[in-house]
Structure 1
Amino acid sequence: MREVDLDVFAAAWAEGALVLDVREPDEYRAGHVPGARLAPLSVLAAAAGEVPRGRPVYVICASGNRSQWAAERLAAVGAGAVSVAGGTSGWARTGHPLVTGPVPGAA
């Protein structure tokens, strides 16, 4: 499983990288990387087929533990998944923006 640090992730994010947030909806609502798509671990297997192939997918959670597990599973089905070390907590701690609010598509 590949893992990238926050600097590498920040550069990829600035270029429009696909970001999957594997935390739970309440965590996502509390603050997430702008543009991140929510794909909680509890439904990741069902969502795996929708993950694009042929391009990197940056998987993020709170600290990097859940994203490592998720990235391994996604890589096993052919996705170019990489885990973001430090997660959303590290992202915020290093001064990067967070978005709060509802989960996209939720009523």
Structure 2
Amino acid sequence: GELSDATGAGARLTVVDVREPSETASGVIEGALLYPWSSGVLRAEHGALPGGPLYVICASGGRSPGAAAFLVENGHVCVHNVVGGMNGWRGAGYPTVTP
């Protein structure tokens, strides 16, 4: 997918994982920034995110579209929703690390 292609190319990008801590405990994409959406952390702290492409991911793709739209509405210009979420990432055999 687009994210795996970008990470493999060594591009400067930021993965924003919007799952809750109970979910991220099972594994995250290496280097991902953890900004839970449902509990409001992303809304409160999005200003601390770096510039450059942001790839927003959740478990299955239910929360990340709303989180990505929020980021665009609040001035982040290069935001991508990761379709399929972490379930799709793992299902494709891509690696995860324990946060």
TM-score range, shorter chain: 0.7 to 0.9
Q: Which runs of 5+ in 2 are unaligned?
A: none
Residue 94 of structure 2 corresponds to residue 96 of structure 1:
yes
Comparing both structures, which one devotes a greater share of its residues to helix?
1
Give the aligned residue type for 1:38.
L
**Cα distance in structure 2, aligned partners of 1:17 and 1:95:** 20
Number of matched residues? 94
| 1:60 corresponds to which of 57, 61, 64 | 57
Question: In angstroms, what is the RMSD of aligned CA positions?
Answer: 1.2
Higher relative contact order, chain-length normalized (CA < 8 Å, sep 6+): 1
What TM-score, normalized to structure 2? Answer: 0.88
1:41-60 pair list within 5 angstroms: 41=37, 42=39, 43-53=41-51, 55-60=52-57
What is the CA deviation profile of residues 9-28 of structure 1, one whole-angstrom value per residue up to 9, with x for unaligned ones?
A: 10112324200000001111
What TM-score, normalized to structure 1? Answer: 0.81
**Cα distance in structure 2, aligned partners of 1:29 and 1:85:** 21
